[in-house]
């Protein structure tokens, strides 16, 4: 009797990935296993058929041969088999997914992600920039191309686990897999280590990267650079690099979201009589008209003079906080004029200092109570 198509047996499409094939096999293995269907010859045959299909389609080489030549392209006797071992394989896959154990053919490990703290100026954050960074990382060894073996030699299959990277311990109905103590889960033994990396397959290096700082990044933002982390093990993919942004303190501005804040000192006479002052912005200078009788703490808002954040559509504002500056190092003539001003102010009453009068009234009320 001719064999059914392996994809049809498992109920998967021809472009199904390994994870989908595993799930389909587990479902069929649990349904047709002989222990669940004692004496049912048909279920036993269905189980054997599913196991054969699973072992061919999860082996990259066998699957390629099967896709090209059909059943004639694979060794049915090697793919075949049956019995309780196949059922335990299904459970082993489940436990492997939970506890992180891996078979020899999937012993590759993704490289670790790296973090780099990058300090930038407020101007770089506002306008965007490019900068170079130098980071220590584990790169694939160029001498052995990552397999850890001396040039001219190659790793050998571990005799303890037969290349699976795990050894199996049977405990009643279940079988538990553990990492092979001889090859440490790689499935391979390196008898002649590479002289450069000493069999590790990776070497520590310093590499220089160009980082593009997007417009509007803020303190604590992360820039992900895919594939620039540490190299993977046993042919695994590299990790990613995360550049964490830190804004250095600015001598003039303080950032708050998309808004900027700055303190603007003005003279006593400008605050009293009014005038026009020049204030700095990230694009240059701007002018502010200060009305007469301006007090310390007055805030002037310049719209659109802040920062356009990464996730914003418009720029924030620049908020200028006025500080009335008390004159220092006065000359004799300046002191004389200020004393004359004080005498006139006292003569005219409290109308020149409404805030002081209000404060004094509240103080008297408080003490009288």
- pLDDT exceeds cutoff 50 at 243: yes
Do 6-100 and 108-151+200-249 come out as alike in CATH topology?
A: no
* Backbone phi and psi for residue 330, each to the nearest 5 degrees, phi listed first: -70, 145
Question: Are 133 and 228 spatial neighbours (Cβ–Cβ below 8 Å)?
Answer: no
CATH of domain 6-100: 1.10.287.110
pLDDT digits (tens, 9 = 90+) for 201-212: 888 888 899 999
Is residue 367 classed exposed, middle or buried when 0-12, 13-18 and 19+ CB atoms within 10 A define those classes? exposed
Average pLDDT over residues 278-296: 92
pLDDT per residue as tens digits for the range 254-278: 999 999 999 999 998 899 899 999 9
CA 106 to mean position of chain CA atoms: 25
Which pLDDT band, with edges at 50, 70 and 90, does 197 fall under? confident
Q: Which two tokens stand for residue 58?
A: 């999860």
Cα–Cα nearest to 334, from 281, 237, 283, 267: 267
Contact of 111 with 173, CB cutoff 8 Å? no
Do you know the residue count of the chain? 369
d(C-alpha 339, C-alpha 354), whole Å: 20
Q: How far is CA 175 from CA 87, 89, 183, 233, 364, in A?
A: 10, 8, 20, 27, 87
Position 305 pLDDT exceeds 80:
yes
Given this model, what pLDDT does residue 83 score? Answer: 40
More confident residue, 88 or 199: 199
318-324/259-266 β-pairing = parallel
Domain limits of the chain?
6-100, 108-151+200-249, 250-326, 329-369
- CATH code of the domain occupying 250-326: 2.60.260.20
pLDDT tens readout for residues 33-86: 877 777 788 888 888 898 899 988 988 888 888 887 777 777 544 444 444 344
- Give 108-151+200-249's CATH code, choosing from 2.60.260.20, 3.40.1190.20, 3.30.465.10, 3.40.190.10: 2.60.260.20
The whole-model pTM stands at: 0.56
pLDDT tens readout for residues 310-331:
888 899 999 999 999 988 898 9
């Amino acid at each position: 009797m001719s064999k059914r198509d392996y994809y049809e047996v498992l109920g998967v499409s021809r472009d199904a990935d390994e994870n989908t094939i595993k799930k389909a096999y587990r479902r069929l293995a649990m349904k047709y296993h002989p222990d669940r269907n004692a004496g049912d010859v048909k279920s036993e045959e269905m189980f054997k058929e599913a196991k054969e299909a699973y072992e061919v389609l999860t082996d990259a080489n066998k699957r390629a041969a099967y896709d090209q030549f059909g059943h004639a392209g694979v060794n049915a006797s090697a793919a075949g088999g049956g019995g309780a071992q196949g059922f335990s394989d299904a459970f082993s896959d489940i436990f492997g997914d939970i506890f992180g154990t891996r078979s020899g053919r999937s012993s590759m490990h993704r490289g670790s992600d790296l973090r780099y703290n990058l300090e930038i100026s407020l101007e770089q954050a506002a306008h965007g920039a490019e900068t170079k960074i130098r980071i220590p990382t584990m790169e694939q060894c160029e001498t052995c191309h990552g397999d850890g073996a001396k040039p001219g030699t190659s790793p050998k299959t571990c005799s303890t686990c037969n290349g699976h990277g795990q050894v199996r311990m049977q405990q009643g109905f279940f079988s538990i897999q553990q990492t092979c103590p001889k090859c440490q889960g790689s499935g391979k033994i390196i008898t002649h280590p590479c002289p450069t990396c000493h069999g590790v397959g990776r070497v520590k290096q310093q590499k220089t990267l160009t980082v593009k700082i997007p417009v509007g990044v803020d303190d604590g933002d992360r820039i992900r650079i895919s594939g620039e982390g540490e190299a993977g093990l046993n042919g695994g993919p590299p990790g990613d690099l995360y550049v964490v942004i830190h804004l250095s303190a600015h001598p003039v501005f303080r950032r708050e979201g998309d808004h900027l804040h700055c303190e603007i000192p003005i003279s006593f006479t400008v605050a009293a009589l009014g005038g026009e002052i020049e204030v700095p912005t990230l694009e240059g200078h701007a002018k502010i008209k200060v009305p007469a009788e301006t007090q310390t703490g007055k805030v002037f808002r310049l719209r659109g003079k802040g920062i356009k954040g990464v996730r914003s559509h418009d720029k924030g504002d620049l908020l200028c906080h006025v500080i009335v500056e008390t004159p220092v190092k006065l000359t004799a003539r300046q002191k004389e004029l200020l004393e004359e001003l004080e005498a006139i102010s006292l003569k005219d009453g409290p109308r020149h200092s409404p805030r002081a009068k209000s404060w004094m009234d509240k103080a008297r009320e408080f003490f009288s109570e």
